[in-house]
Structure 1
Amino acid sequence: MRILLVEDEPLAQKRIKSIVSQNFSDWKVIDSVQSVREFRSKLENISNYDLILCDIHLADGLSFKAFAGMADLKIPVIFITAYDEYALQSFDHNCLDYVLKPIDEQRLVKALQKAQKFNPNSETPSLDQSFINNIVKHYTSKSYKKRFLTKLGNKFVFIPVENVAYFYAEEGLTYLVEIGSSVRYVIDHSLSELESDLLDPLKFYRINRSMIIHLDGLVEIKPYLNGRLALAMNAKSEDALVVARERVNEFKSWINQ
């Protein structure tokens, strides 16, 4: 299997290549590209490839743009992305499967096994109906949390999600900090729950292991040590708000959405 890898994050590129080589020894990543422009140029020689592994948010825009005018594209595409809202749109571009980041090895292997069964003589990728039904059910009904119930002193208060500057975890507890405030509230959700199920990924981003920020509360971005970024939020914080180095490229794409 000859693969075209479309991915602008070096760490993600390395991980995908490692998963492919460890699980499919006779498969080879022929080319790797990092931009819509480079991707488009490779599509002009699409016969060089049997499969495309494709991120969606690239440095110069959405990878979907590269498919414009490619009505005769007949090879399958597996999209690998941190954003779930493009799942339905991906079906317009020969989507065989849709894998969310952070990449789970077994999930990607399962997607690659689908490609292994793909019949290259068919006009479009052979998607099973259960996969389509699950995608449609999940992504068309997706809703996000609108407010958080928390306790302040001896009373309970509601904090609308649009008033949140950031969430952070400390000593086993998760805290919410309001925009324009230094007051913190304890909430009954882990950062993982917030990131995966409760918060809109277009508005909230996990910048490191212990913090999720709200785009509306972001004031300033500055370079920081070791290739990281330091953020200023519209809320007080005793500690530096730092984007982890391995998340910097993805964070920039998220900001530039």
Structure 2
Amino acid sequence: MSPSLRVLVADDELLARKRLSRLLAAFPDVEVCGEAADGEAVLSAVRAGGVDVVLLDIHMPGLSGLDALALMPEGRPRVILCTAHAEHAVEAFDHGAVDYVLKPVEPARLQKALERARSRLEPAPRDSAKAEPPATERPSSTPPAKGLARLPIPTRQGIVLVDPETISHAALEDELVTVFTGQGDYLTDFTLNELAEKLPPERFHRVHRRALLNLSHVTRLEPLETGGYLARTARGHTVEVSRQSARELRRMLGLRKSAEDEG
């Protein structure tokens, strides 16, 4: 049986904390190890240890949840943002959050987020002071060398090993990254930054803060009024290329400079 997840509930509203605690009490493998009403209290609890997962609100007095997330020490707990505001998802994932749950939090959605957090925990003993370094680590914990021969993507049916050459692009949609391949599309816990570390850099390019693109699968680049492009893939998908990335693509492809490139 898996050890209980020790969860810190962090929200500046007492009612919100109590509701989350009640939801967590329904899960037999979860233990509420404390509550925090502001970012400073969150950091104090994390530094004290004994926390596996933090359910973290964004808007709190003093340090915001995102501020606290950015200031957490190395080896920090896994963090699930619980907020009523959808617009901070990209920033949250860039700071290393494992999930982003919108209020009002539903039990099934919370359970899914906790399962994701558990899967990202390193299998280390509770007493870290006496623990020996693990012989191996989870694939999602430490990115392997660039140019991975097969990208492992955990799914409900098992781990799918994807040939990077078959990947046309990866995109952040809503709260998760989807990897698009010739064999199908897969949701993944990897962030775009993690995927960029795992995939061949000569093929994959971060063309937007929400997209990673394999130029081998691009059939057409359509100019946009913003100065960027709309990239069309062989499977008919479209990927937005930002203006800055469009400049880099033009240089890389040896295309004629635009007035903006020269300015």
Q: TM-score, normalised by structure 2?
A: 0.45
From the two aligned structures, give the one with the greater helix fraction: 1
